[in-house]
Amino acid sequence: MRRLRMGQVGGGPGSFIGRIHRMAAGLDGEIELVCGAFSSDPEKSKIAGASLNLDPQRIYASYVEMIETEKELPADRRMDFVSIVTPNHVHYAPTQMALVNGFHVVVEKPLTVSLAEAKSLKTTVEKTGRVLAVTHTYSGYPLVKEARAIVSRGKIGAIRKVYVEYPQGWLSTALEKSGQKQASWRTDPARSGAGGAIGDIGTHAAHLTEYITGLKITAINALINTFVKDRRLDDDSSMLVKFDNGASGVLFATQVAAGEENNLSIRVYGELGGLEWRQEEPNTLVLKWLDRPKEILRAGWDYLSEAAKSNTRTPAGHPEGYVEAFANVYLAFSRAVRDHELGKRIDPQKYDFPSVEEGVRGMAFIDAVIKSAHSTQKWTPIA
């Protein structure tokens, strides 16, 4: 099989997430980077492309130029898909343009800056039949997939309670005022959208919850805060959530928990037992039971589900982490793209990657949290 050809929008000098996407896409030898529009500054785009040893003719000054030019190349040369790793406000336009011009898309979360834009992209995906993946990375971890398999098989019984939390501490001070690139755009409503911590990490927590449990959040009772003076978006949130099976949950996402790094964790409790997973210790899943001692499952062992084993690359005891989780999203996406080219109907659930559906759910989550936080009503439904 030939490698799929990837173009990238964003990911130029100073970009953290662009480099992660490139590493993840290339990890399994399925994908090669062939072109890019790496910055809104054409000179920076040239510098980035040159550092990646790309053909100078395929280093573009803008995503518009890239898509228009690549579309006219012969089928055996043009890119197959676009990886979009820009700030949130530059997700919608290149995604929309790529889809209508026949390219598949991988796009960073949140999908867009508004629910209306997200729904528009969903319509475009349905109309064009192209494959779109949203990088809710944490669903790519093998033991997150194991947790999902355990719940879906009914091993811990009907879900009653979920606790999910994502504390970070990196925005405990006004870092954006120092000119730090990542802080600057994430705290700017024009570039980030209406949600700060909610959009950046709260959507990850919400997606992880729905992914593992198979349930949908139906309503939210939220409190949001902005603790750092003069910051324009929320940096802290706490909420009660209701699920479609009657279960309840607690979700919080904060970027002002001083001393925390990326301590995403989830606990799920059913009628028969519970499970616990932490992103900072991703190779371990703890199972807890009513009538026997707890179990500790580890990545890489044959006793795990096929879903977990097929997303593990190394033997037990060899840690896999963030980049590999990203790579699992790209690998699942690439399989769908290959099948699409064979004329097969693509159901993202079959391939197990976050699709436009999850992207719309993420934007609906942000929308509901903000509405709830500014409402005197106890509960706000998710649209």
CATH assignment of the domain containing 291: 3.30.360.10
pLDDT at 345: 86
Let me know whether 293 and 331 are in one domain: no
Q: What is the pLDDT of residues 165-205, one digit of tens each?
A: 999 999 999 999 999 999 999 999 999 999 999 999 999 99
Asked whether residue 320 is domain-assigned, the answer is no
- Nearest 5°: the CA angle 240, 142, 242 is 15
Taking 90 as the threshold, does the pLDDT of residue 256 lie above it?
A: yes
Q: Are residues 223 and 74 in the same domain?
A: no
Of residues 25, 33, 26, the one with CA closest to residue 5: 33
23-33 average pLDDT score: 97
Instruction: Give me the pLDDT at residue 349, please.
Output: 86
pLDDT exceeds 90 at position 383 = no
Tell me, yes or no, whether 130 and 147 share the same domain. Answer: no
Residues 30 and 120 in one domain: yes
- The number of distinct structural domains making up the chain is 2
d(CA 352, CA 334): 11
Helix (H, G, I), strand (E, B) or coil at 153: coil
For residues 343 and 289, membership in a common domain is answered with no
In-domain check, residue 321: no
Note whether residue 381 is domain-resident.
no
151: region left, alpha or beta (phi > 0 left; psi from -120 to 50 alpha) = alpha
Give the span between the Cα atoms of 83 and 103, in whole angstroms.
10
The reply to whether 145 and 248 lie within a common domain is: yes
pLDDT value of position 89:
97
What's the pTM value of the predicted model, to 2 decimals? 0.96
115 with 153, same domain?
no
Which residues, at least 6 apart from 313, have a Cβ–Cβ distance to it below 8 Å?
320, 324
For position 308, what pLDDT does the model report?
97
Q: Residue 322 domain-assigned?
A: no
| Mean pLDDT value across the chain | 97
Rg (CA), the chain: 21
Identify whether residues 107 and 229 lie together within a single domain.
no
Task: Say if residue 263 is in the same domain as residue 202.
Answer: yes
Query: In which domain, by residue range, is 52 found?
Result: 4-138+327-353
Residue 379 forms part of a structural domain:
no
Q: Confidence band (pLDDT; 50, 70, 90) for 267?
A: very high
User: Could you tell me which of 319, 204, 193, 322 has the C-alpha nearest to residue 266?
Assistant: 204
Distance CA 239, CA 378 (A): 11
Residue 270 is inside which H or E element, if any? strand 265-270
Q: Indicate the angle between helix axes 203-213 and 356-373, nearest 10 degrees.
A: 120
Cβ atoms < 10 Å from Cβ of 160: 17
Looking only at the bridges linking them, the beta strands covering 236-243 and 248-254 are antiparallel
CA 294 vs. chain centroid, Å, equals: 30
Residues 279, 169 share a domain: yes
User: Which of these, 149, 144, 142, 145, lies nearest to 319 by C-alpha position?
Assistant: 142
pLDDT digits (tens, 9 = 90+) for 346-381: 888 899 999 999 999 999 999 999 999 999 999 999
Judge if 247 and 110 occupy the same domain. Answer: no
Residues 97 and 208 in one domain: no
Q: Let me know if residue 378 belongs to a domain.
A: no
Please check whether residue 380 lies inside any domain of the structure.
no
Residue 193 within any structural domain of the chain = yes
Q: What percent of the chain has pLDDT over 70?
A: 100
Q: For residue 64, what is the domain's CATH number?
A: 3.40.50.720
